[in-house]
Structure 1
Amino acid sequence: MTKFMHVVRTPFSPAQKPNFRRFSIQKAFSDVYAYKALPPVARSMYCFSYLDLPFEPHIKRLPRLPIYRHDPIIHGFFSCFNHLRVLVIFPAWFGPFPFVITKLFHLRYLQVRYFGNIPESISELQNLQTLIYDCYSSHMALPGKIWTMKNLRYIHLGKASYTPNPRIDNNLVTGMPNLEEFFNICYSSCTNEVFSRIPNLKRLSICASSIVRENILYRLLDMSSLRKLEAFKLYWRYILEKPIKRFVFPTSLRKLILACCSHFIWEEISSTFIMLPNLEELKLKYCRAEDDVWRLTSKDIFKSLKLLLSELNLKHWEASSVNFPCLKRLVLKNCQDLQEIPTDFGEIGTLESIELHDCNTISEESARNIEQEQEEMGNNILKVYIHNNNSKL
């Protein structure tokens, strides 16, 4: 069996010439020659520890500083690995971003933690497909030249990040036509110009953070041009009336997550999301509605296969099997105010499970009653699972 990856825990001697192509560094070494012995043919490098290089007299540098500084030793280290396709550095990166990394032309996958914004020179990585970036500064922004990286497929950002509008340079329209996932884009960056340059996006996460100006929050955000979007998550931290009505969702959506949204009414949930014909999964997390009753009429029909309600102020839920004819899984988490699960849910032929996590005893009892009633009718498919992590021992 071929070994997939070599784990570096002890330094190599200068006489050794390892030729493995994937390796992970688990421990910091003080011998710079140990790193020079690493194979230059390596394709993948995973750093789980600071690469603590020693002081060298001919280089003006403080002793025992981590590798995450912009100096000749760092440049020499990464210059040895011109064939890298994958570079992952888990410890936080101090100091300026090492320019030498942007010279790794063959890089396909880059994951770093850094205390500043990504430099414009990142655009030199024209073969990069995945960019995962955690930022520790209060404000984060992607460089304008990010739009020249046409091979990018996945962008995962650690916090809400501003993305500038794409520009037209020398009559050449920039964009990321291959981008499929954009995680944690700042709400203020969501413009028609941005959406038009990522037409093949499949998964999107938008965060409305404290840096958004108030006038931007009141605008209508039209995402209908994202015709291939399948999964969308909205993290909303502002108190505005009817926040859900400020969005135009694409009909292609299959999964929708709404988190930390307040001052909506439950009728908005019904009237907005039932218009999404392909919706299979709906999650509402940490939301606070203005009312505490979700009343559904016979015309309110959801086709979702999974419904999750987590930490809501919902007290009464008036619904029947007609409203959720294809529901397969119902999950309730920390819904302390909910008095009862609609008893008619047992008649949903597709329903396989009802899960309750840290809910009150009344809703738990209603779930057990539904399960017992179905068992008496010969329906052994429906199962009820109750989890109480906060219960007293």
Structure 2
Amino acid sequence: MTKHMHVERTHPTLPTQKHNVRRFSIQALSYSVDDYCKALSPVARSIYLFSHFDQPLEFLSRFNLLRVLAIFNENVSCQSFPLVITKLFHLRYLQFPFHNDIPDSISKLQNLQTLICGRDANFSGYPLDRSYSLPGKIWMMKNLRYIRMKGLLFLPSPRTESLLTGMPNLEEFSILCSTSCTNEVFSGIPNLKRLIIHLPFEINEFFNRQLDMSRLTKLEAFKFYGSTFFQHPIKRIGFPTSIRRLSLTRCSDFDWVDIPSTSMMLPNLEELKLKRCRTFSHKWRLSDENKFKSLKLLLLSGANLKHWEASSNNFPNLKRLVLKGCHTLLEIPADFGDICTLESIQLHDCPPRAEDIARNIVQEQEDMGNNFLKVYIIHNNYCNF
């Protein structure tokens, strides 16, 4: 019976013969190309490289049966996309620290399902300092499921012949530049489930047009980031009703009444996160008709909100309320204690008055014998208000 994976963590304890395994993880501090070839079997199916080396990747041509190639060391980064990688026809998963435009030759990897380029596959929300372009031939890659890059991606509209099928299996795309958000592009990725969009660095005509995602009827998770220097009006974003998790950062020029009117059109919405979104008013008043029926998590971060009027009926299924850096907040609806599903209220760097109200809500529930609701007060960069 062969091992699931062979891990090399030390050097130079190289094997006298190749290991009879198909999955390798090379984690030694430094390896030469000869070392790799001695350690790896030519029938290797998966290679994970953490080691430092600054030599060409041509040695990969010996492993033409590879299905998984993951290179984590930034020192391996190349100015041009390595031709040898495009010859690994059986690749299903490719993670590579590449920081330039993706060439047309990527389309040779017709079996590729996951494409990850950049140092970090998870976008943290900080301003992006790089932008890239995907080639038009990306639309020929029908098996792609995940595209993740640490940088702003420009995706060209598909040609007429490609639009017939597009990328039907694509489920996740990050980070797409908002200028690429056209009806043609969205029609080519009809089964997308997770999407991150970022406003481009420079001010352009996108600010004045609608972002209509109604064609993405399978979309479940959506994150939108306005530019650091230029925010986007929330009213100009059209959401599909399939969304369950919605995160908006640096949206602007809206009133709090826009939030329930938008959310009521999203019957499946379970998570709503508003981060550094600037509004016209400082008061959020919810009427009896404003119900977030499916919402379980509400997060407000950096909101310029002072007064908040709401009842338990507005959030009948809320489990977590998180308030971060809401420096002007003077009140939390006292009726929130009556939300039977509410498990926790978290306040990060909020004014003392808001903290006192949160404590009172929990104390009132404890006095009635209800001990399920918890309050968490966290001070990180707290200052006096």
When the two structures are superposed, what TM-score results if normalisation uses the length of structure 2? Answer: 0.90
Distance in 1, matches of 2:95 and 2:313, equals 47
Deviations 1:309-357 (A, max 9, x none): 1121111111111211111111111222111211010111111111112
Q: Given that residues 11 and 29 in structure 1 are in contact (C-alpha distance below 8 angstroms), is that contact kept between their aligned partners in structure 2?
A: no
Query: In the alignment, what sits opposite 1:59?
Result: none
Matched, 1:279 2:269: yes
**Corresponding residue of 2:60:** 78
CA distance in 2, matches of 1:268, 1:354: 24
CA distances 1:218-252 after superposition (whole Å, capped 9, x unpaired): 111211111111111111126467x1111211111
Other structure's SS at 2:223 match: strand
Aligned residues: 369
Distance across 1 between alignment mates of 2:252 and 2:78: 38
Are 2:11 and 1:7 aligned? no
Separation in structure 1 between the aligned mates of residue 282 and residue 41 of structure 2, nearest angstrom:
63
SS in 2 for 1:362: helix
User: 2:256 matched to 1:266?
Assistant: yes
1:267 CA drift (Å): 1.6
* Residues 239, 271 of structure 1: alpha-carbon distance in 2 compared, 3 angstrom cutoff: farther
1:247 aligns with 2:224: no
Indicate yes or no: 2:164 matched with 1:168. no
Q: What is aligned with 2:362? A: 371
Q: d(CA) in 1 for partners of 2:87 and 2:185?
A: 27
* Cα gap change, 1:19 to 1:386, in 2 (>3 Å): same
Q: C-alpha displacement at 1:217, in angstroms?
A: 2.2
Q: Which residue does 2:109 correspond to in 1?
A: 125
The correspondence of residues 126-275 of structure 1 with structure 2, limited to 5 A, is 126-134=110-118, 138-169=130-161, 173-211=164-202, 214-237=204-227, 239=230, 243-275=233-265
Q: 1:291 aligns with which of 274, 281, 295?
A: 281
Q: Per-residue deviation at 1:11? A: 4.2
SS at match of 1:206: strand
Displacement, 1:28? 5.0
Aligned to 1:22: 23
Q: How does 1:374-389 map to 2 (within 5 A)?
A: 374-389=365-380
Which stretch shifts more, 380-389 or 316-325? 380-389
Stretch moving more, 32-41 or 249-258: 32-41
Kindly indicate whether the alpha-carbon contact (under 8 Å) linking 1:353 and 1:385 is maintained by their aligned counterparts in 2. yes
Shift of 1:141: 0.8
Aligned partners of 1:11 and 1:35 also within 8 Å: no
State the AA in 2 paired with 1:276.
Answer: L
Q: Which amino acid aligns with 1:164?
A: P
Shift, 1:13, TM fit = 5.0
Q: CA deviation at 1:264?
A: 2.1
1:95 to 79, 85, 102: 79
Q: Write the deviation string for residues 235-275 of structure 1: whole angstroms up to 9, x where unpaired.
A: 1126467x111121111111100012222221211221222
Q: Which amino acid aligns with 1:4?
A: H
Residue aligning to 1:332: 323
Instruction: Normalising by structure 1, report the TM-score.
Output: 0.88
Counterpart contact for 1:115–1:137, Cα < 8 Å: no
Contact 2:171–2:194 (8 Å) recurs in 1: yes
Given that 2:118 and 2:149 are in contact with CA atoms closer than 8 Å, whether structure 1 keeps it comes out as yes
1:104, distance to aligned residue in structure 2 (A): 0.7
Question: Structure 2 CA distance, aligned partners of 1:324 and 1:339?
Answer: 20
Q: 1:122 to 1:253 in 2, by over 3 A?
A: same
- SS of the counterpart of 1:374? helix
1:186–1:207 contact (8 Å) kept in structure 2? yes
Q: Please name the residue that 2:124 is paired with.
A: none
Relative to structure 2, which stretch is displaced further, 27-36 or 319-328? 27-36
Asked if structure 1 preserves the Cα contact closer than 8 Å seen for 2:279 and 2:304, the reply is: yes
Counting only pairs closer than 5 Å after superposition, residues 32-43 of structure 1 correspond to structure 2 as 32-37=33-38, 38-43=40-45
The match for 1:350 is 341
Measure how far apart 1:290 and its partner are.
2.3
Q: Distance in 1 between matches of 2:33 and 2:154?
A: 39
CA spacing shift, 1:131–1:291, aligned 2, 3 Å: same
Deviation at 1:99, TM superposition (A): 0.5
- Change in Cα spacing, 1:27 to 1:95, as seen in structure 2 (3 Å) is farther
2:125 aligns to what?
Answer: none
Distance in 2 between residues matched to 1:172 and 1:327, nearest whole Å: 41
Aligned to 1:55: none
Report SS of the residue matched to 1:264: coil
Looking at structure 2, the residues matched to 30 and 380 of structure 1 have their Cα atoms a distance apart, in angstroms, of: 57
Determine if contact 1:110/1:128 at 8 Å carries over to the other structure.
Answer: yes
Q: C-alpha displacement at 1:39, in angstroms? A: 1.2
The 1-side partners of 2:2 and 2:241 are apart by 46
Structure 2 contact 129–151 (Cα < 8 Å) conserved: no
**1:44 to 2:46 alignment:** yes
Shift of residue 33 of structure 1?
2.5
Amino acid at match of 2:48: Y
1:30/1:130 Cα in 2 relative to 1: closer, same or farther (>3 Å)?
closer
8 Å contact from structure 2 (residues 89, 110) kept in 1 = yes
